Amino acid sequence: MRLFRKVLLATLWSVALAIPAEVRADLLGDGLAACGRGDFSTAISLLRPLAEAGNPDAQHCLGVMYFFGKGVEKDYAEASRWLTPSAKQGNGVSQDLLGVSYAYGLGVARDWIRAYVWLSLAVSNGGVVGADRLRDFIGTRLLTTVQVTEAKELAQKCLASNYSQCE
């Protein structure tokens, strides 16, 4: 529950700071506000069309809801479906949750290299505190030196391509 609150607060603050005051009353702002007050059915109805249209903040919020089972049945595959495009648009918290998903095989096949890549990107984008520790654990305990080098190169390629070449 604490992690959900931290992720939700990080999401709400990052979105609130990025949206001009006069635009906060739009669907995105209303959807995020509904999510923040626990009105998840309203949040889903407002955010899903925006997420489907490619809005990374709406995608992130839906991904978080599915990841933690808030207002919907917990579904890691559905969470990854929404977190991936948000992560590919630079959302550090989505990158962190995607890294965790790959590390533990939550909704995706377990893949230590992809976990390392997404956690590295999350760290570089100010993801959730602790992403660096999980990334470093994976890099020192679960991957070979060659694999760590490969993962670092993939993360750099992803960043250099503005997230278009992250796979």
Q: pLDDT band at 114, cuts 50/70/90?
A: very high
**How far, in Å, CA of 78 to CA of 10, rounded?**
21
pLDDT single digits (tens) 103-112: 999 999 999 9
The letter for the amino acid at 88 is: K
CB 41 within 8 Å of CB 28: no
Token output for 113: 């290299």
Token output for 78: 């559905």
Label residue 58 left, alpha or beta by phi (over 0 means left) and psi (-120 to 50 means alpha): alpha
Average pLDDT over the chain, rounded to an integer = 88
**2-160 CATH fold:** 1.25.40
Whole-number percent of the chain with pLDDT over 70: 84
Q: How far is CA 91 from CA 66, 99, 112, 146, 162, in A?
A: 17, 12, 20, 28, 12
Query: Is 8's pLDDT higher than 70?
Result: no
**How far, in Å, CA of 115 to CA of 14, rounded?**
23
Biggest distance spanned by C-alpha atoms of the chain? 51
Instruction: Say which range, 36-50, 60-74, 120-134, 146-160, has the weakest mean pLDDT.
Output: 120-134
Q: pLDDT band at 134, cuts 50/70/90?
A: very high
| pLDDT value of residue 6 | 56
pTM for the predicted model, two decimal places: 0.84
Domain boundaries, the chain: 2-160
**How far, in Å, CA of 138 to CA of 120, rounded?**
11
DSSP assignment of 48-90 equals HHHHHTT-HHHHHHHHHHHHHTSSS---HHHHHHHHHHHHTTT
* 57 or 15, greater pLDDT: 57
